[in-house]
Amino acid sequence: MELNSAAYRVMIVDDEPILRTGIYHLCNWPEHGIEIVAQASNGQEALQYIDKVQPHVVITDIVMPVMDGVEFTKTMRRLHPEVKLVVLSSYSEFDYVREVFKYGVTDYLLKPKVTAEELVPLIQSLCGDVSLDDARQKPIPNDPSLILAGLLTNEENEDSPAWQELRPTYPHDQFRMLRTNIELLLSATKLTQGEVEQTLLGLAGSHLSAFVMTPVFLKNECLILINYHSDDSKLAVQRLREFAQAAKQELGSIIFIQSYSFGSFSLLKEKHEGLTADMGRLFYFPQQPVVPESDIKLDEPKLSFDHNEFADSLRMLAVSKAHSQLKAFYSDIQKTQAYDEYSLKRLTQNLIYTVTSTLEHLKLPLPALGLSRLKLFKEIDHAFDIEELESMVGRFFGELEESVHRHTDQQQSFILSKIYDYVNENYASDITLSALADELHLNYSYLSTYFKQRTNENLTAFINRVRVDKAKELLLNHELSISEISRMTGFSEHNYFSKVFKKITGMTPVEYRNHIFQH
């Protein structure tokens, strides 16, 4: 690759690969007469490139390992005073910024606000006195990480010169990649993304140095590509596993998907995209640092969950039964991987919502259900694997069941009292089991069973008993006929009223009235 004599040359120095990649793809630099010629992760590494790439402008971070931005600017002013220096900083680093201005730093940019609209004119103004005709023609090393990042984010295509020139970097006949998402890791630790990336880079250098290796960082994703001879296939798999194990030991909440081997560099983007769906199934491999692509199941049909049975158990206050149903579902899901991580977490949250809203609707004395739900939803979002998810849900149901048991007598009498109240208020109307079930938010098929289990009396028999008791009171009024009393107590037919009345009291309504007034 030749230095472009018609472009201002810029070098990026920052220990966070994601930031370097972001600046590299901030805009179409050649359109503005600018070329990003190199990048480095610290001042010491940058100094090794300066003579090779001859930048006009260096954009450097302040806080970096090995050699920080302050020491780097001191050295640059001494060895390369002609190079313009621009410092990247955050608000918290402004004391450092004041320090580096002593050594000839030209300008500074705030990290969260770096834009093409700001950076392009700044570089152009800094290079206003640079004669591009004097640029010496020297080779510039390719940056595989940035070029691959560009390809995988559609910033580069396979016909671009940079992509074509990268092919010789990989001389062997086999490729394999590891891919992971570090978003949950970042939420579970105090590590910054830069610190995580530096750890992974160090471990990759230690365990994968026997191969041609390129690390790529894309937002919250890390990709490790290795190129090796087919004779070294077993060694490659072994070293990738050792790297993943070391990463898990060092960082904790991290797991990698390992691709099949592939023999063509041109398949890289296709293979990378093919792993996207697999990433959603890493959730089913607790404790494993790396999962071979062959272990992922994508074609299993989704398992159905009986929401009605689940809700009925809750309405019956059978919390342990509802939990057992959910545990059995998780067990089947674990075997089939039928849901990806996102879908299973959303389903679980929906079921938790069903639990809390059902119990809230029953007006049970269980305060803080809403608060528990919101807290649990956040925990579910951050669950790293299915074991952790099941543990969270198990604790929720355990606490819920304990609360339910604590109020057992109240809860059982609560629903029964609602049945009693409804029947006593509506005995004169046509009470149907379906209407009563709707009123109490109980499934029709469970209503009679529920009442029978707790009273040893059929619900229909109870309704008739209430009506007969009311009829007994009305029979004391001689002005009311038997037919009128029948209608007033909800019996549509006189004969049926007499039959039910006699079954319960041993007398017909007429016999009962005569008996009362004779005594």
- Predicted confidence at residue 98, as pLDDT, reads 59
- Of the candidates 415, 516, 419, which has an alpha carbon nearest to the alpha carbon of residue 474? 516
H-only helix segments in 293-368:
307-315, 319-336, 341-361
At position 241, the amino acid (one-letter code) is: R
Output the six-digit token pair for 181. 């998402």
- Predicted confidence at residue 71, as pLDDT, reads 84
- Residue-wise over 502-512: b if at least 16 C-beta within 10 A, else e? eeebeeebeeb
Give the separation between CA 213 and CA 86, rounded to whole angstroms.
Answer: 31
* pLDDT tens per residue, range 56-92: 989 888 888 888 878 888 888 878 888 888 887 765 5
* pLDDT tens per residue, range 118-171: 888 888 888 877 766 544 444 444 578 877 887 787 766 666 676 777 788 899
- CATH 1.10.10.60 correct for 411-518: yes
- Predicted confidence at residue 48, as pLDDT, reads 83
Q: How far is CA 383 from CA 26, 216, 254, 292, 301, in A?
A: 34, 25, 12, 21, 24
- Predicted confidence at residue 347, as pLDDT, reads 93
Q: Are strands 221-228 and 174-181 parallel, antiparallel or unpaired?
A: antiparallel
Give the separation between CA 50 and CA 45, rounded to whole angstroms.
Answer: 9
Give the separation between CA 162 and CA 36, rounded to whole angstroms.
Answer: 12
Output the six-digit token pair for 442. 């109980």
At position 360, the amino acid (one-letter code) is: E
List % helix, strand, coil for the chain (3-state, nearest 5): 60, 10, 30
- Predicted confidence at residue 138, as pLDDT, reads 42
Output the six-digit token pair for 514. 């005569």
CB-based contact 254:199 (threshold 8 Å): no
- Of the candidates 268, 264, 260, which has an alpha carbon nearest to the alpha carbon of residue 240? 260
H-only helix segments in 127-168:
144-152, 161-166
CB-based contact 315:304 (threshold 8 Å): no
Give the separation between CA 112 and CA 335, rounded to whole angstroms.
Answer: 44
What is the architecture of the domain spanning 8-139?
Answer: 3-Layer(aba) Sandwich (3.40)
- Predicted confidence at residue 256, as pLDDT, reads 95
What are the boundaries of each domain within the chain?
8-139, 146-295, 307-406, 411-518
pTM of structure: 0.58
Domain boundaries 146-295, corresponding CATH code: 3.30.70.270
Taking 70 as the pLDDT cut, the residues of the chain under it are 1-6, 90-106, 108, 111-112, 131-142, 155-160, 162, 362-372, 406-413, 444-445, 519
Q: How far is CA 491 from CA 399, 430, 448, 464, in A?
A: 47, 8, 20, 9
